[in-house]
Amino acid sequence: MSGDLSSVCSKAIGDAKDDLNHLSNEIWKNPELAFQETHAHNVLTDFLENKGFRVERNFIKKTGFRATYGSGDGDGVHVCVMCEYDALPSLGHAAGRNLSSEASVAAALGIQAAIKQQQKLGKVTVLGTPATEGGGGKLDMINEGCFDGIDFAMLAQPLNENIAAPVTLNILRVRVSYAGIITNGGLKPNIIPEETEMLFYLRAPEQTDLMFLQQRATACFVAAAKATGCEVNFEFLDKPYHNVVHNSVLANLYKKHAEGLGLQFSTDEEVLQCSTGSTDMGNVSHVIPCVYPAFDIKTQAPIHTQAFTEASSAPEAQQPVLQCAQAMAMTALEVMQQSQIMSDIRNEFETIDSVHTPVIAGTNPFP
C-alpha cells in the first residue's frame, strides 16, 4: 500500500477530529428512536455535504441517506461505509451509535482524501441506515437494490473489547396470543386474564438452526394452548435478522491495520465465549462482502446499559473511534490499490453456501 496515500488518509481523519467529536456529541445529546432519527439525519447529511460529498437526503426511508464521492468509472473499487444512529428507549445511545456513525464518517473522509489524490481508486459511499433496533432499515435498502454495484461494505460497532469479526446471531420475532374463557374470577393478583400476548425473540448462530428452532417454538405454542384449553394465534414477524458473515480477507486486513495503530484484540477463544446480539448488518453480509469489527471504547460496561450510554460520550472514547476509522480507511485503501485482494474478497464471498438461505417470516410455515 502506498505510504503517501496512507499518510493522506490518516491526516484527513486527524484534521477533522474536533468536527467529528462535535458530530458524535450532537447525535448523542439528541437520542432518537428507530425511523425517528431526524436530527441525526440532518447533522450527518449537512456534515458530509460540507465536506464535498454528493448527498441524497430522505433516501429510501425518511431518515435514510446516501452520500457519495468519486466517479466510480473504470476499474476502480466502490466501497460503502454505513452509518447507524438510532437510540434505545429510555437508555439513549446505549449501543453507542453516535460513535459508530463518527467512525464511518471519519473513515469516509480518509478514503475521500485518497481518491482526491488518485481518482482511479474508485468511489466511496456513505449509507445512512436507520432503525437498526428492530426496524430493519438495511433490509428495506437491500430490497430497493441500494447495494447493487458496491464491491464491499464496512461498519464498526463500539464495545468493551476489540474484535475483528464478532459473532452475531440470527433473530426471528414472533408474537403469540392466547385466548380462553374465565368461568370465575375477581380483582386479585392471581386472576387469569381472558387473553395474553407475548413477544419472543428466537436466536440461533446459523439460519438452519433458526429454522429448526422455529419449528420447536411453534410446537410449544400449540401444545400450551391444547394443554390449557385455549386458542392460540401466532405470527412470525417480518424482517428477520441474519448472522453476519464476515469476509475473512477484509477482517484480517482490518485487524492488521488496527494492530499497526496499537490496538490489541481478543483471542478467538474469547470471541467465541460471547455474542454481540443480532443486527441487520447480517443481512447485508449475505448480499455483498462485509466486515463488521468492534472497537473498545475504554469501558468495562456492557452494551445496552446506562453505563455504556455514558461511556459513549466520554472523551476517552475519542481516540479508539478515530483509530477504528483509520483502520477501516486503510483497509479500504489497500483493497482499492491491489486488484488481487478484491478478487480474493469476491472469491471468498462466492463460496457462501445454501446454509445462508434466508428464513421466511410473516407467515407460519408450520401449521
Residues of the domain holding 223 = 170-240
Residues 122 and 161 in one domain: yes
Quote the CA–CA distance of 70 and 94 in Å, as a whole number.
Answer: 34
pLDDT band for position 182 (50/70/90)? very low
pLDDT cut 90: percent of the chain above it:
62
Please report how the helices 38-50 and 97-117 are oriented relative to each other, as an axis angle in degrees rounded to 10: 20
For the ranges 167-171, 290-294, 310-314, the maximum mean pLDDT occurs at: 310-314
Residues 149 and 298 in one domain: yes
Q: In the predicted model, what is the mean pLDDT of the chain?
A: 85
Q: Name residue 65's beta-bridge partners.
A: 128
Asked which of 210, 240, 270 is the last residue of a domain, the reply is 240
Q: Which three cell numbers stand for residue 71?
A: 466517479
Quote the CA–CA distance of 18 and 22 in Å, as a whole number.
Answer: 6
Q: Does some domain include residue 185?
A: yes
Q: Does some domain include residue 349?
A: yes
Q: What is the pLDDT of residue 40?
A: 99
Number of domains forming the structure of the chain: 2
pLDDT band for position 267 (50/70/90)? confident
20-74 pLDDT per residue, tens: 999 999 999 999 999 999 999 999 999 999 999 999 999 999 999 999 999 866 6
Residue 347 has pLDDT above 90, yes or no: yes
Q: Which three cell numbers stand for residue 202?
A: 428466537
236-255 pLDDT per residue, tens: 666 777 888 889 999 999 99
Task: Kindly list the distances between the CA atom of residue 224 and the CA atoms of 179, 180, 198, 211, 229, in Å, as whole numbers in the listed order.
Answer: 12, 12, 13, 20, 8
Q: Does some domain include residue 262?
A: yes
SS3 91: coil
Q: Does some domain include residue 364?
A: no
Asked which of 208, 240, 272 is the last residue of a domain, the reply is 240
Residue 214 has pLDDT above 50, yes or no: yes
Quote the CA–CA distance of 350 and 190 in Å, as a whole number.
Answer: 57
Residues 163 and 181 in one domain: no
Residue 356 has pLDDT above 50, yes or no: no
Residues 230 and 309 in one domain: no
Quote the CA–CA distance of 170 and 358 in Å, as a whole number.
Answer: 10
Q: What is the pLDDT of residue 215?
A: 72
Provide mean pLDDT across the span 163-189: 55
Quote the CA–CA distance of 204 and 226 in Å, as a whole number.
Answer: 27
Q: Using an 8 Å Cβ cutoff, are 250 and 154 in contact? A: yes
Asked which of 240, 258, 274 is the last residue of a domain, the reply is 240
Output the 3-class SS for 194-258.
CEEEEEEEEEECCHHHHHHHHHHHHHHHHHHHHHHCCEEEEEECCCCECCCCECHHHHHHHHHHH
Q: Does some domain include residue 336?
A: yes
Provide mean pLDDT across the span 69-83: 88
**CATH code for the domain in which residue 90 is found:** 3.40.630.10
Q: What is the pLDDT of residue 354?
A: 38
Residue 363 has pLDDT above 80, yes or no: no
SS3 61: coil
Residues 192 and 317 in one domain: no
Q: List, in order, residues 6 or more apart from 55 with CB less than 8 Å away.
A: 45, 48, 49, 65, 66, 67
- pTM for this prediction: 0.82
Q: Which of 84, 120, 90 is nearest to 104 (CA)?
A: 84
Quote the CA–CA distance of 217 and 203 in Å, as a whole number.
Answer: 11
Residues 268 and 127 in one domain: yes
Residues 74 and 162 in one domain: yes
Residues 139 and 209 in one domain: no
Residue 188 has pLDDT above 60, yes or no: no
Quote the CA–CA distance of 181 and 271 in Å, as a whole number.
Answer: 49
Of residues 356 and 202, the one with the higher pLDDT is 202
126 φ, ψ to 5°? -100, 120
Please report how the helices 97-117 and 318-337 are oriented relative to each other, as an axis angle in degrees rounded to 10: 40
Provide mean pLDDT across the span 6-32: 98
State how far Cα 97 lies from the chain centre: 9
Q: What is the pLDDT of residue 361?
A: 36
Residues 34 and 132 in one domain: yes
Q: Which residue's entry shows cell 467529536?
A: 21
Q: Does some domain include residue 131?
A: yes
